[in-house]
Structure 1
């Protein structure tokens, strides 16, 4: 499915570069056609279960269409033998609707991921969880925002390039695991990158800025995968990801790859406080 998602992102970018114009806002709340097409083309038309396995937090009216917070959470009862293998965030009416796909490590225990996205017009947003038995589970939210994909960058382009790929890791200490069994860690990875969408205009030259964005982020704990993200133009400038996981005491290692094949790496020891 990851190859199909990558194809969806590439197809969306091709459409952007061909049209070179932003898509106007419209009443997406009344039109489910985009989601039906996404289910067919990205998820092979497989059934979607709206049963609470996955939830999605999103603002009904965004304060800034270029930086819209989204949080996906997914989990199963302890007695359930399945696990969540993959989470996908879809912004139905964006030019490239698959914003990000998160592959979760088998033993990492990730249950919650927060990030920020661009929203180009009034749209439904979907979070899809794929379980180890192949079933798909969905949550939906509606967001009122427009122009996020074409909004000018917040930072000076030269400054952005000077700090390209710089990373920070914020650590929020230890919290109880659902059910009270063992420690969990929560961190926020912040990446300096303009994440140019291909729809933004250079205010001096009046030419469109070429697309240049983070396409993959791999996070490992020792040699074990915590999370791998494949992203596209819908991720906001300076992408960041806040997530929880089960710590092993090994450092977190991060590798970021963008669409120009730049590779950025970082490593941080975990500094988790003891439970009080």
Structure 2
């Protein structure tokens, strides 16, 4: 069952979302109410963002909605991004920080969307804040039942897998694409135990770092909106380190750390 969940997560990331022009951001009273709390007094530029956001207009699975951030203007470095789902119970889904090795940015993950909502990305650059996003039709993502047996999920918690998009072969360019999968139930606090019908306490990864050697590629501070058994797909510039190291903590005080070997040169 757990392998099936991981496979579904990969499929969600690899599936093609609706074209960007089909679901632009819409007016949102919720965003107007919260943007000071999220951004403080920092203004968001009216200029086009140096990145594009893709997500499906109508999600196939509200508990596993693929989101991709792709840099479109490589002259503007993107150092961080905040993902906000306007109508979710905890709207700030994640804050990400990126090293120069992650640029030009190409980053994807799966999210929970609880009701029809804007999903917006606020990118931080030396030129200020920029925003892009998509309107997604989905409902019930935060309260959707967990995908497997709770005892098995907790027993497997922290297991990780690395897939390299270029397989075993070292390509001529130092730019590579990796996909890291982590087993964790990512309980939102809004799901019910299917036997007792009692709410399951929130329990999720709240901090994650991915390193190659002594260089941190990216970090994530997350909440309940990141999907169960999270999957992160990202492009990065190779520095020759033989592994990618993942370090994570969750809200129950658990720590997970694993060196994930890159596939041997073919």
Q: TM-score, normalised by structure 2?
A: 0.83
* Matching of residues 195-214 of structure 1 within 5 Å: 195-214=186-205
**Match among 257, 262, 273 for residue 254 of structure 2:** 262
In the alignment, the residues of structure 1 paired with residue 265 and residue 102 of structure 2 have an alpha-carbon distance, to the nearest angstrom, of: 19
Alignment correspondent of 1:73: 70
Residues 272 and 85 from structure 1, CA distance in 2 versus in 1: closer, same or farther, beyond 3 angstroms? Answer: farther
**Match among 8, 29, 43 for residue 33 of structure 1:** 29
Q: Does 1:146 align with 2:139?
A: yes
**Match among 64, 71, 78 for residue 61 of structure 2:** 64
Q: TM-score, normalised by structure 1?
A: 0.80
Alignment correspondent of 2:94: 100
In the alignment, the residues of structure 1 paired with residue 61 and residue 156 of structure 2 have an alpha-carbon distance, to the nearest angstrom, of: 24
SS at match of 1:84: coil
Off by >2 Å, runs of 4+ in structure 1? 74-77, 106-110, 268-274
* Matching of residues 241-260 of structure 1 within 5 Å: 241-250=232-241, 251-260=243-252
In the alignment, the residues of structure 1 paired with residue 27 and residue 83 of structure 2 have an alpha-carbon distance, to the nearest angstrom, of: 19
Q: Does 1:192 align with 2:180?
A: no
Residues 33 and 272 from structure 1, CA distance in 2 versus in 1: closer, same or farther, beyond 3 angstroms? Answer: farther
Residues 121 and 157 from structure 1, CA distance in 2 versus in 1: closer, same or farther, beyond 3 angstroms? Answer: same
In the alignment, the residues of structure 1 paired with residue 198 and residue 176 of structure 2 have an alpha-carbon distance, to the nearest angstrom, of: 44
Q: How many residues align?
A: 236
In the alignment, the residues of structure 1 paired with residue 190 and residue 42 of structure 2 have an alpha-carbon distance, to the nearest angstrom, of: 32
Question: Contact between 1:92 and 1:125, CA under 8 Å: does it hold in 2?
Answer: yes
Gaps (5+ residues) in structure 2? 1-24
1:35 CA displacement: 1.3
Q: Does 1:123 align with 2:117?
A: yes
Gaps (5+ residues) in structure 1? 1-28, 175-180
1:72 CA displacement: 1.1
**Match among 35, 38, 44 for residue 42 of structure 1:** 38
1:30 CA displacement: 6.4
In the alignment, the residues of structure 1 paired with residue 116 and residue 200 of structure 2 have an alpha-carbon distance, to the nearest angstrom, of: 24
Residues 95 and 86 from structure 1, CA distance in 2 versus in 1: closer, same or farther, beyond 3 angstroms? Answer: same
Q: C-alpha root-mean-square deviation of aligned residues, in Å?
A: 1.9
